[in-house]
Structure 1
Amino acid sequence: MSAELPTARLTDRPHHAPKEALVPMNDKTSHHLSLVIRNARLIDGTGAAPVPSAAVHVADGRIAWAGPENDAPRPPAGATVIDARAGTILPGFIDCHVHLAAPGGEMNRAALAAMPASLRTYLTTPRLLATLMSGVTTARDLAGLDAGFKQAVDRGLVAGPRLQVAVAMMSPTGGHGDFRPPTDSGPVEPSVSRLADGVAECRREARNLLRQGADLIKIAATGGVGSPTDQPDDEGFTEEEIRAVVEVARAHRGKRVAAHAQGRGGILNALRAGVDSIEHGYQLDDEIIDLMLAQGTYLVPTLSTATHTFDPATTPPWTLEKKRQWQGQALASVPRAIERGVKIAMGTDCGIAAHGNNLRELGHLVDHGMAPMDAILAGTSVAAGLLDLSGEIGTLEAGKRADLVVAACDPLADIHRLGDATNITVVVKDGAVCKNTLDR
């Protein structure tokens, strides 16, 4: 069986899993085996200069050593050794904005709503696998996956990245999460959206999502390109409503709030209410950037979708018109944020963008003004900070979880090569080898 997943756009047809990915990744299997990856360039995610001729040692699912191979301790007897063939070892990447329940490409939400939940689950499984095989070992799903998917991955029932899930997006009536046609007053699809209006309803729905296992809350602070009855510069929740959601999340073990926010007014409402991240951020200006810098707010620009061109044959005309109108503003905001030093975390919006080559986002960041090393940090240590996981992942330092990838390239010379999943030759998550095409 081939050890690689095809890297073309995933469809809803099932794919055969790579042999390595079929191994359940839990403490009863390969976590307690020793692993050595040698003969590699090391980029450890801290921002330090690359280390040539390096090695990484893994024991009990944790990093035991990362540094020059000549200085490394002797590996224990029986350790698995992988020769990286002069490739580059990097931390496992973190995608901070995905929708794994969606197929990739413009989503037919009516079809999704009519689909049995069990079928959605089966269709999601190959997307989880493709994301892992692309080099993403942790992903934050911002609407569509319930907490059961996270538990299934954690138990080794399905191969995929470690997950944080928002469960669904909170939206005001008529906002970005309200995909009902104008004549429909029935309920929205609960796997995608939850409607709330007013401070009391916002508090109640935020608590309800947390009750259902949400790791964070996602709110619609503005309209969007893909919603039928609003525009990206329409304001969604008010500042008071957003602040109520933030207060509920903070009171629930300090959980975080992500804001879908594209137009200027809604971005400001979200920032003033104290959200942790601005997703998309199409209309950034100096006032907004000043506030983001002062508060330490992250930007997740999702350039994979901002640069994506929708197929006119399958996309509603109103979506195409909004896309044409807003794409230029979206792409102009990112260089300004990069230049000013806003904290930028990698997020692709896969589900709208195609699944399976997530690291193309890093090339988009470089194309819009970011240095290659900084783009790598956006997908590793900076992203770990946004997910409040800096103590566990994001860098290859002794004691942290052994999440790492090997790339058959020098990403500082050509970062775009990371966006082709065939160039990701090894994926290790929690010390378990999930993908290895070097030993074929």
Structure 2
Amino acid sequence: MHALSIKTFRALGLAILLLTLGACSVNPVTGKKELAWMSEAWEVQTGRQYYSGQQQAGGGNYTLDPELTRYVKQVGNKVAQHAARKHLPYDFVVLNDSTPNAWALPGGKIAVNRGLLTELNNEAELAAVLAHEVVHADARHSAQSQEVGTLIAGGQMLATVMVANSDSNSAALQQGVALGALYGQTRYSRSRELEADLYGMQYMRKAGYDPQAAVSLQETFVRLSESRQQDFFSTLFASHPPSMARVEANRATAASLAPGGVLGEQSFASATAALRRRQPAYNAASEAGEALAKKDYQNALSLAERAISMEPREGRFHELRGIALSRMNRTQDAMSAYNRAISLDPNYFSPLLRRGLLKHQLNSFSEAERDLKASIKLAPTEIAYVKLGAISEQRGNVCPQAFNYYREAFVAGGQRNAELQNKLVALQSNCQPQAR
């Protein structure tokens, strides 16, 4: 057993060494050599595979204003035409989330939150945001994060063998692996952010925009990071940390580029006018969410209804109302609110999931099953799989259906993992796992 483990260790070490040595390529944006064993085809496939789920997790698409999404796509495509890999299938969406943030997946799939758009001043600042995200995709920053994670996973396998087969300090080894994993979870390093700023400004200038907008954008973010609004922007700042170093670097880059360019204040104001008119309604909805967190359900209900009175076509407001009503045990009213939310946006998983859970609570298992299945087609969640497993058990269909649902719940990950593991072990003696 000891000899076999040593052989395994050596084989793993050799495999990782060969991968590392043979995986160097030239970055298409910077021209520098770097670690890269994920192909462009993998990037494109990965982006497509996870794009829909990431949009669902990010609040779903902002459907009230299709013209705004078209405008963002237009600006994004304008800067993407100047990317080093302009042939990537770039796409740009607006997500229905008040949190100011933007992100990019491998292969050019890019999202900007509704909440970030209301913090911008002109089209050039929007171009700066989108160009920055384009560089993250173009320069393979998102893919590189996956590669670092793969290398760390290989390192963890090696460390496990080393701990089991040597007198080395296992605590020190495990600490090193933990620190490596923490680094691998960092969204973007300082160097990648500076790189995305530099080349993003070049892209936006080639697209005809004033690069000074990238300077003013970073200046705004630095001010916000130092203000009482820091918590509101924490998601953005965690993945795209602002700093005076970035401001100074952007100033130097702007000075090196051709002066002038479009700011697009009027076009941006026109494109975002409807969104800004709705902002008081979204503010009320945010307050309703805070009240729900404090278990102040009556106040949450009042705030959700205030938001609905200002914008009755927003499904998220009706869902908030449904949550408050459900917590107040007004079950039928909650069901009506969820019905309305789903009718307004049938392609968002959350109200479908909540209605399914409520129907399960009411022992309407067939109807609950339909909603839960519809929700996992949009966004797989642990709780949906758990309830589907419970429904299958209640019907006596333990093998394979309930077992497979619980297995999917375990894979999805969450707070019930230990409980699910015990459940699967208990069922495994009677079940042979089969694919659904």
**TM-score by shorter chain over 0.5:** no
The TM-score, its normalising length taken from structure 2, stands at 0.26
Which structure has more RCO (C-alpha within 8 Å, separation ≥ 6)? 1
Indicate the structure (1 or 2) with the bigger Cα radius of gyration. Answer: 2
More strand by share: 1
